[in-house]
Structure 1
Amino acid sequence: MTSLPAFFLPHGGGPCFFMDDPQGIWSGMAAFLRALPASLDAPPSAIIVVSGHWETEGFAFTGAVRPGLVYDYSGFPPHTYALRYDVPGAPELAANAATLLRGAGLEAGVDPARGLDHGVFVPMKVAFPEAEIPMIEMSVDRSLDPALHIAAGRALAPLREQGVLILGSGMSFHNMRGYGDPRFTAPSEAFDAWLADAVQLPGPERAVALAGWAEAPAGRLSHPREEHLVPLMVAAGTSQIAGARVYGERVLQTAISGFRFD
């Protein structure tokens, strides 16, 4: 079976891809997500999406056979609360993933009731609209410890050899005060450049660099709280070779990137 890469993807703002967008703010990001399947050497056997919108003590995986949706956004048009993404779950994969994490000394479990939040169903509805590939969501640990999330990615790496696509879903810049504010353009670009350089390091050096992200140029300004960044750590942990930036543009006056790990 073909080994698949892991990615860190931007998931946009709320249900942005399913709203009127006359200025095309989200069109480039949507195009990147739509092109994701064609960038793979083979279709995934299943997909794990790590979402910055689900925090737990230890790690958790959705275990429903047919997961529902969690509309965890507010103030958007009524039709965005009627979006559907009837993707099959993968309870066996959830159990296997939790076992891999526990085998690495990490706390992990399966939540049979949890649905997929918008950090999953919004970008996946763009990238895989047919909703045919079994999919589970993975939480981030409430500590938001980057080293812990890199270790989680390392533990999950064998799943890539089984054709499982591992995706970190977040935003490379996530300061709500900064979106649309030109004063944040230069700081966001400084952090984005640092992040791209860190991602392109070999695995061991990358782990050290990413663990120190808060000391990077404009690190804390770019992420006052890092729940949208730590999904990157999981994706990065699945690989020991240099990663690559595969998407980058300025969105709402801030630099936003996506990364691939082979």
Structure 2
Amino acid sequence: MTLPPLFISHGAPDLLLNGSAANQALKQIGLPDLAAAVVVISAHWESETAEITASERPATIHDFRGFGPALERAIYPAAGAPELAGEIHALLQMAGIAARLNRSRGLDHGAWIPLALMRPEADIPVIQISLPRSDAAAIALGRALAPLSGRGVQLVGSGSLTHALADAFGPVETAPSAPFAAAFHDWVRPLIARGDLAALSQWRDAPHAARNHPTPEHFRPLLTAIAAGQGQPGHLLHHSWSRGVLAMDVWRFGEITPGPA
């Protein structure tokens, strides 16, 4: 089975419980039963050298506060995949990407919260890989990971298509899109649909780019996912707004194809 890469806008941690349009969409999108593993690159773990979780049972990291006891108690008890982590380590080294295994780190909320909606059974192993600190390195990581899709591994870039966090604290969840956020979204959307990495690498030239992404870590998982898709066009699986400034887009790069019967 070939599983094309996904980009998921994960929003705030309360996505898990808020019943929003994005919450419902992720439940519907789900993960295929035959997925061998999930490999997530999240905005919430950055490093110069690529790190790969390699524990048998990665912990659930609650890297947030103020969202209530239900979220702070929630866990996502998926297994890790140490053997696959070792294979990914070798794959990255072959691509000239410095990498190391991390046997102690768990899954941050950019990884486990969308997965808890997509696969609440937590019966598919999960690996997380740290996000590089440059656009070019994020693209190189995606290209190096591309062969995993053909092995039934679901690659996920987890970030946010827009991330004007300072503007997100006042509006209600269902607020209409702010003009500055909509302008950035309208600029980037056709480029994602074409899988146009060259144009997307110039994302800082988009309307209101600095306000939508005052720091780049929530945009870079998109670059990784597109690169892993090897030029396949993007298919928009979901679009909605959270708090009027967080575009909750979910994109897939390529088509799911079954393996041999």
* Fold equivalence (TM over 0.5): yes
Number of residues paired by the alignment? 248
Amino acid across the alignment from 1:47: V
| Structure 1 counterpart of 2:156 | 167
Amino acid across the alignment from 2:203: W
Alignment of 1:210 with 2:200, yes or no, is: yes
Counting aligned pairs with the same residue, the percent is 33
1:36/1:184 CA distance change after superposition, 3 Å: closer
Amino acid across the alignment from 2:211: L
| Structure 2 counterpart of 1:14 | 13
| Structure 2 counterpart of 1:231 | 221
Partner Cα separation in structure 1 for residue 85 and residue 91 of structure 2: 10
Once the two structures are TM-superposed, the CA of residue 183 in structure 1 deviates from its matched residue by 10
Which deviates further from its counterpart, 252-261 or 56-65? 252-261
**TM-score under structure 2 length normalisation:** 0.89
Task: Please tell me whether the aligned partners of residues 190 and 217 of structure 1 are also in contact (alpha carbons under 8 angstroms).
Answer: yes
| Structure 2 counterpart of 1:5 | 4
Secondary structure in structure 2 of the residue aligned to 1:70: coil
Alignment of 1:97 with 2:96, yes or no, is: no
| Structure 1 counterpart of 2:248 | 256
Any residues of structure 2 matched to 1:35-54 within 5 Å, and which? 35-37=28-30, 43-54=34-45
**RMSD value over aligned CA atoms?**
1.8
Once the two structures are TM-superposed, the CA of residue 184 in structure 1 deviates from its matched residue by 6.9
Q: 1:28 aligns with which of 13, 18, 21?
A: 21
Secondary structure in structure 1 of the residue aligned to 2:248: strand
Q: 2:165 aligns with which of 146, 160, 176?
A: 176
| Structure 2 counterpart of 1:196 | 189
Secondary structure in structure 2 of the residue aligned to 1:116: coil
Partner Cα separation in structure 2 for residue 154 and residue 106 of structure 1: 11
Query: Which ranges in structure 2 are unaligned for 5 or more consecutive residues?
Result: 255-261
Query: Which ranges in structure 1 are unaligned for 5 or more consecutive residues?
Result: none
| Structure 2 counterpart of 1:156 | 145
Amino acid across the alignment from 2:198: V
| Structure 2 counterpart of 1:243 | 234
Amino acid across the alignment from 1:215: D
Task: Please tell me whether the aligned partners of residues 8 and 170 of structure 1 are also in contact (alpha carbons under 8 angstroms).
Answer: yes
Task: Please tell me whether the aligned partners of residues 8 and 258 of structure 1 are also in contact (alpha carbons under 8 angstroms).
Answer: yes
Deviations 1:31-81 (A, max 9, x none): 11111236x5x6311100111111112211111101111110012212322
Amino acid across the alignment from 1:173: T
Partner Cα separation in structure 2 for residue 117 and residue 241 of structure 1: 28
Partner Cα separation in structure 2 for residue 175 and residue 129 of structure 1: 29
